[in-house]
Amino acid sequence: MGSHPMDQQSNMALTLSNISKAYPGVKALDNVSLNMEKGKVHALIGENGAGKSTLIKIISGVIGYDNGTMTVNNTPVTFTGPRQAFRCGINVVHQERNVVPTFSVGENILLEKIAGNSFGMVNKDQMYEQAREFIDMVGLQAPPEQKVADLSAAEIQLIEIAKALSSKAHILLLDEPTSSLSFHEANSLLKTIRRLRDQGVSFLYVSHKLEEVFDIADTVTVLRDGKNVGSALPIEKLDRNRLVSLMVGRTENGKALPARVLNNKNEVLAVQNIKSRLSRSSNSFVLHKGEILGWYGLVGAGRTELARVLMGYDPALNGDIFINGKKARITSVSQAMTRWKIGYLSESRKEEGLFLTSSIILNVSASVWKSLGNAFGLLKNRDEKQLAEKYTRRLKIKTPGISQIVNALSGGNQQKVSFAKTLATEPDILIVDEPTVGVDVNTKHQIHELIVELSQKGVSIIVISSDLTEVVHLTDRILAFRDGKICADLKNSKDYGAMSRQVMEKCLKKGGTADRALEKNRLPN
Amino acid sequence: MSHSTKKQTPSIRFWPALHKSDSIGVFFIVVLICLVMSFITPEFNTFVNINVLARSVSVMAIVALSQMVIIGTGGMNLSVGAIGGLVCMTSGSLMAKMNVPVAAAVTAGLLVGALCGLVNGWLINRVHHFTNRINVTSFLVTLATASLFTGVNLGMTRAVPIYGIPDSFVNIGRITIGGISLLLFLIIPIVLAVAFVLHKTGIGRQFLAVGGNLHAAKLSGISIPRVMILSNIFSAVLAGIAAIIFLTRLGSAQPSVGSEWLLFSFAAPLIGGTRLDGGQVNVFGTVMGALLLALVANSMVHLQVSVYWVTFVNGLIILGAVGLERFRTMGSENIKGV
Amino acid sequence: MLANMKKKLLAGDLIGILIILAVIITLLGFFGEGFLSSYNLENLSKTIAVTIIVGLSQLAVLSIGHLNLALGAMGCLTGMFTGFLLQSYQLPLVLLILLGLSAGALAGFIQGLFIVRTKINPFIVTLAFVSIFMGLVTGITKGEVFSMQPDVFKLINTTNVFFGIPLLLILSLAIAAVLSILFFKTVFGRQLLATGSNLKAADFAGINTLFIVVCAHTISGFLAGAAGILQISRMGSATPTIGTDWLLVSFAAPILGGTLLSGGKVSVLGTILGAALMSIIVNGLFLLDVSQYWFQTFIGGILLASYGIDKLRRVYLLQKQS
């Protein structure tokens, strides 16, 4: 830190020094420090999986840490739960909304008050009067009597901030606060933050959007792979390029595979202008035989939505899909799997991928029961076991046995089981969505090797990933996504420095056509 | 809706629009049925019939409110009928067999009801495990306690009805004001009290906050165990009051009291615009829902439809009511929640 | 063979209920006057037979994480319909029974279809269907009782096979065996359990989960109907009171047998043991001269105790994992 530690310290709203946190198999945070000055906006940035959410969870008392120290207003603290962090004046405005949808704006803002008042009366007029103060403070354009269920995501966000202020919070953690807001809404939120900052509230602002960071932040902390690569850097001394290179950096683990020249130019999959119920714009692209195609974009850029169209989960509303030159109408998951030989690995293995309370056997065979069964629909346990054995060996799943309940496996091995479930259908086109999120380095390597091996055998693979290193190291070609639209189709030179900057630029670009299209798209809602 | 049109950039709504309370719609249906019935059958509009209706509505409305309180917290109470039966028999036997003064007997009965609620709330807290949702736990617990309470009721009374309820008590049910049964007026303060507790008091708001978003309620420092216990006591006392009113109406204590309360206890609040998921109740709508169900049953009698079909129609009404709500909220779900 | 079986029982959490059963049977053998008499045992096993099927009917929907409050009404509907057929038509018995069973299956099918189509909470749907089915039964029959049964049908109740085991129990165990094969040996059974375990993951595995939900309710209705038919053969007549007291045991038997209510894990053997336990306890209370009026209290108490055990098991599993 600076040469006047005493001066700085007295100004600190929140400090974290040398915080480390390990999960089984993964070191999520490694000696991370963070120093937030009072009345300033401190941005926390980093790629997905850099450890930001772990850090937020530690600050808000949701999880503990292994070592390091933490102070609030220069007093050392240890939190055993979120309520304690709350009492210290730390409040998180989460992406998942913590409001009561059936209550009014005023009541939500003063929910703390209702909680503390079990046996008294609630004077709504008085309450709304009090709430109005906070409503004005955050610049919310809704009366306190309004029901929250009728409000937009942006307004709910403001309610959460107002709620935090009403409970005398002086340190606010904003986690991707503008991710679900329109351009105008985001702007007015930033205005509010600036105003509150000037009134002495300290903000920790977590965002992917660099424009916003430059717009709002006073200082920046950058995380990469769970480590500080920049701590409390003053924003004046940074420029966009510097920040991008700090974020993406070059990581020690994982080497880029040599760039490949694909001889086979067969278009296995050609997609023209497809759009679904959930996707915001229509998209076109092609996939070649044996190719590894990377889909990069920030979270919520519309990649998963597009994948689900191909998977038959959310059938296309218009546009055409050609598979091996034949026009394909994909109407259901089972049809996509059996007829078109498309396999999909879901991004959230716990919610959508695995049967957590069941055995490896059941999980691996789940997608192929129909083909395992005989004419009467009878299954032989032996067939299932053989299948599970095969994939356990092939994917090197570490387990005491194939009857093991999946929930008891480590994250990496769970992901391998999820992989096995997808591979069991022997797909020609494989879409893997965030294949290495939450897995240890070792497993990550193995999964990458597996993907390459499959592509060499002729499987065409789409890798959806928010991990830029992974995308650049692994793929032959990269599609960059931004606001639901494919905004660039780049041949991957595997030169990390050049590629990462190129891709990042495309994904972060503001005010482009995509942005305007987005604004237009939102109007009918 | 009107408020979003004035904004320049309407944006994606986060919560699927919860439908507006539609008790007015139910009210109109009720009025319509009354009008049609008074044209078709002359007996419908007589004092005798109105009092028949008033008496059944007074019990049904309070039972429905008892269920509504628990639905509001995001749970369910399958033991409303069992608690009602137990309270009815307790008060009845105290009055008729032990010559306890009426007021004391009623109080004792309601205390027994409160105790049942305490048992429910306590067990829900004990059995609840965070992998379960609160409605699953309350379903399981009250399914078991319904049997428990009914068992105690039958065990103590040996399923023998109690006659000889003092006239001073039974007469309350016979008093009429301007030709209309006192009981109907009696429920007005109770309905108002329920509305007051749920809308105006801290604990009532806590009930609904827990039902609306358990996680948010917890984070704000609301004690979930306390809410579970107090809401269940409140619900049980209401079920007890319904049983006491039933007792004055009947003039004897029947062990089977409450055995048929379950369906309409859910139907009436749902018809009246209470959300099954919790967090939002509609007291007036619930009373209207009870009135509608009572009216339909009464009309069917007048139209000489066999009494056996009333159950069938009740089933259809509840499906219709919930289906309608479902239909209303369907449009907003095309927008993906962020 | 024996060691293998023991290991299986331990893993399936059945050892607890087996011990409880053994203790209760031993105690009743000593203190329950007439417990071991052939008359009592015959009656008891007939009760167990019906209870097993009732429990399995609930189990079918528990497997997908739903519940069926209307199974009593479905049983009543089927029982009454079959009773009516038996009294009115001189057709082959098998045909009559099949016709009867199809009524139960149809009732379950309608219920399942309604849940899938409207996406209304299954609890409310099945609650409403209680009224609808009971309304149908009472509305059509006006409370009539069908007590004329052909002699062949009466044989179902009176026949004893091997060592005096009632045919009723054999039939019920046979149904359980078929269901067991369905659950654990077929593609369909796997899909049921997968749907109950994680609906989304099942969707992504290409399983048509809507179809599976409808099927689960249809099977539940079919089994409730089967229980209804066994019941009318036991009673010798079809009355509208069939099924009124099934709801509680239908939950108690699977839960006592280790089936989780969150779906995805079922135990057919456990349900059989749970049904046996419930029936034996009730029988024991009867023999010990406990007033019948107190029975419900005991049943409620047993159910509560089973939740306690279920919670302990969950906490234990969670600790073991971390």
Q: What is the pLDDT of residues C241-273, one digit of tens each?
A: 999 889 988 998 988 887 766 666 788 999 999
Count CB-CB contacts under 10 A for residue B316.
16
Answer yes or no: do C307 and B157 touch at CB < 8 A: no
Cβ of C296 within 8 Å of Cβ of B148? The answer is yes
The C-alpha atoms of residue A371 and residue A424 are separated, in whole angstroms, by 11
CA atoms within 13 A on the CB side of A358: 30
Predicted confidence (pLDDT) at residue A258 exceeds the cutoff of 80: no
Residues 6 or more apart whose Cβ sits within 8 Å of residue A321: A269, A270, A271, A272, A274, A310, A327, A328, A329, A330
Q: Is residue A296 part of a domain?
A: yes
Structure tokens at C163: 């060592």
Calpha distance C41→C165 (Å, rounded): 9
- What residues in A contact C205, CB-CB < 8 Å? 333, 366-367, 421
Question: How close A161 comes to chain B (CA, Å)?
Answer: 14
Percent of chain B scoring above 90 in pLDDT: 46
Over residues B286-294, mean pLDDT: 92
Give the pLDDT band (50/70/90) at residue B314. confident
A313 belongs to a structural domain: yes
Closest Cβ opposite residue A122 in set B202, B220, B280: B202
Inter-chain CB proximity C207 and A334 less than 8 Å:
yes
Residue A373 to residue C197, Cβ atoms within 8 A: no
In a domain, A43, yes or no: yes
**Is A400 an interface residue toward C (CB < 8 Å)?**
no
Q: How confident is the model at residue A321 (pLDDT cuts 50, 70, 90)?
A: very high
Nearest to B155 among C124, C262, C297 (CB): C297
pLDDT of B328 reads 60
Give me the total of CB pairs closer than 8 Å, taking one residue from chain B and one from chain C.
135
Chain B residues within 8 A of A112 when measuring between CB atoms: 220-221
Assess A97–B contact: CB distance below 8 Å, yes or no: yes
Contacts of A142 in chain B (CB under 8 A): 3
Task: Give me the interface pTM, i.e. the ipTM.
Answer: 0.84
Pick B308's closest partner by Cβ from C127, C138, C304: C138
Q: Which residues of B touch C129 (CB under 8 A)?
A: 315
Q: What is the mean pLDDT of residues A171-193?
A: 81
| pLDDT for residue A517 | 38
Q: Residue A300 has what pLDDT?
A: 67
Residues of chain A contacting residue B206, judged by C-beta atoms under 8 Å apart: 114-115, 118
Q: Of A153, A168, A183, at which residue does a domain stop?
A: A168
Evaluate whether C259 touches C59 at the Cβ level (below 8 Å).
yes
Q: Does A133 reside within a domain?
A: yes
Indicate the residue of C191, C198, C321 with minimum beta-carbon distance to A369. C191
DSSP one-letter code for A375: T
pLDDT tier for residue C160 given thresholds of 50, 70 and 90: confident
Under an 8 A CB cutoff, do C186 and A355 touch? Answer: no
- For residue C141, the chain B residue with the least C-alpha distance is B308
| Same domain, yes or no: A372 and A243 | no
| Nearest CB to A185; choose among B11, B200, B338 | B11
List the one residue out of A105, A27, A97, A35 whose CA is nearest residue A66.
A27
Query: Which of A388, A408, A426 lies at the terminal end of a domain, its last residue?
Result: A426
The verdict on A157 and A70 lying in the same domain is no
| Mean pLDDT, residues B163-174 taken together | 87
Say yes or no to pLDDT of C283 above 60: yes
Name the residue in chain C with its Cα closest to that of B129.
C311
* Beta carbons of A356 and C265 less than 8 Å apart: no
Domain assignment present for residue A71? The answer is yes
Chain B residues whose beta carbon lies within 8 Å of the beta carbon of residue A99: 213, 216
Residue B338: list chain A partners with CB under 8 A: 95, 153, 179-180
| Minimum CA–CA partner of C296 in chain B | B151
- Would the pLDDT of A525 be above 50? no
Q: Is residue A346 part of a domain?
A: no
> C45-63 burial string, b = 16+ CB within 10 Å, else e?
bbbbbbbbbbbbbbbbbbb
C96-137 tens-digit pLDDT: 999 999 999 999 999 999 999 888 888 889 999 999 999 999
Give the closest-approach CA distance of B320 to chain A in angstroms.
23
pLDDT value of position A24: 66
Average pLDDT in the C177-192 region? 93
List subunits contacting chain C, requiring 3 or more Cβ pairs under 8 Å. Answer: A, B
- If you average pLDDT over residues A468-484, what whole number do you get? 87
Contact C198 A338 (CB under 8 A): no
Name all chains with 3 or more CB-CB pairs below 8 Å to chain A.
B, C
A188 touches chain B (CB under 8 A): no
C264: which 2 tokens? 């995805």
> Any CB–CB contact under 8 A between B11 and chain A?
yes
Q: Does A273 touch chain C (CB under 8 A)?
A: no
Residue A319 included in any domain: yes
Q: Note whether C86 and B280 are within 8 A (CB).
A: no
Measured CA to CA, the distance from residue A25 to residue A441 in angstroms comes to 8
Q: Is residue A347 domain-resident? A: no
Pick from A134, A147, A30: nearest CA to A100? A147
Two tokens, residue C169: 């129990």
Q: Does A64 share its domain with A182?
A: yes
Q: How far is CA B107 from CA A155, A498, B55, in A?
A: 49, 82, 22
Domain-terminating residue out of A205, A234, A249 = A249
pLDDT value of position B329: 57
A85 and A177 share a domain?
yes
Q: Quick check: A516 pLDDT over 60?
A: no
Q: Do B219 and A519 touch (CB under 8 A)?
A: no
| Mutation site, B15, B71, B203, interface A, largest A CB count within 10 A | B15
Question: What would the pLDDT profile of A402-421 be if each residue is shown by its tens digit?
Answer: 988 888 887 888 999 999 99
Residue A171: the pLDDT is: 92
C198, A356: Cβ pair inside 8 Å? yes
Q: What is the mean pLDDT of residues B281-294?
A: 92
pLDDT for res A299: 64
| In chain C, alpha helices (H) | 2-11, 14-31, 38-62, 71-88, 93-118, 122-141, 151-158, 167-185, 187-197, 199-204, 209-235, 246-256, 268-287, 295-321
Asked if B323 lies within 8 A of C296 by C-beta distance, the reply is no
Residue B338: is its pLDDT beyond 70? Answer: no
Indicate the Cα dihedral angle C209, C212, C218, C224, nearest 10°.
-100
Q: Which residue of C has its CA nearest to A368?
A: C205
Nearest-neighbour CA in chain A from C4: distance (Å): 16
With contact defined as 3+ CB pairs under 8 Å, the chains touching B are: A, C
Q: Quick one: B273 exposed, middle or buried, by C-beta within 10 A (0-12, 13-18, 19+)? A: buried
Q: Which residues have C-beta within 8 Å of that of residue B94, sequence separation ≥ 6?
A: B100, B104, B105, B108, B109
Cα A328 from Cα A287, distance rounded (Å): 15
Of residues A54 and A42, which shows the higher confidence score? A42
**What confidence score (pLDDT) does residue A388 get?**
94
Which residues contact residue A224 at a Cβ distance below 8 angstroms, ignoring those fewer than 6 apart?
A46, A47, A50, A246, A247, A248, A249, A251
Looking at the fold, whether A2 and A140 belong to one and the same domain comes out as no
Q: Point out the residue among B222, B279, B334 whose CB comes nearest to the CB of A115.
A: B222
Question: Which tokens belong to B82?
Answer: 């069992």
Mean pLDDT (chain B) is 84
C13: confidence class by pLDDT, cuts 50, 70, 90: low
Assess whether A523 and A464 both reside in one domain: yes
- For residue A460, the model assigns a pLDDT of 94
Q: What local confidence, expressed as pLDDT, does residue A314 receive?
A: 86
* Token digits of residue A153: 């995501």
Structural domain boundaries in chain C:
38-247
- Looking at residue B336, its pLDDT comes to 26
Of B145, B306, B315, the CB nearest to C142: B306
Task: Residue A5: give its domain's CATH number.
Answer: 3.40.50.300
pLDDT class of A180 with cuts at 50, 70, 90: low
Number of domains in chain A: 4
Length of chain B: 338
The partner residue sitting opposite C190, judged by closest CB among A356, A357, A379, is A379
For residue B225, pLDDT over 50 is answered with yes
In this prediction, residues A293-316 reach a mean pLDDT of 85
* Chain C residues close to B151, C-beta within 8 Å: 293-300
Identity of the highest mean pLDDT range in A70-74, A253-257, B10-14: A70-74
| C185 CB-contact burial (10 Å; exposed 0-12 / middle 13-18 / buried 19+) | middle
Task: Indicate yes or no: CB of B309 within 8 angstroms of CB of C139.
Answer: yes
Q: Which residues in chain A have Cβ-Cβ distances shorter than 8 Å to B228? A: none
pLDDT at C263: 67
Specify whether the CB–CB gap between A196 and A139 falls below 8 A: no
CATH number at residue A115: 1.10.8
Range of the domain at A139: 98-168
Query: Would an 8 Å CB–CB cutoff place B2 in contact with chain A?
Result: no
Q: Of A100-109, A484-493, B170-179, C49-58, where does the model show the most confidence? A: C49-58
Partners of residue B323 in chain C, C-beta under 8 Å: 118, 120
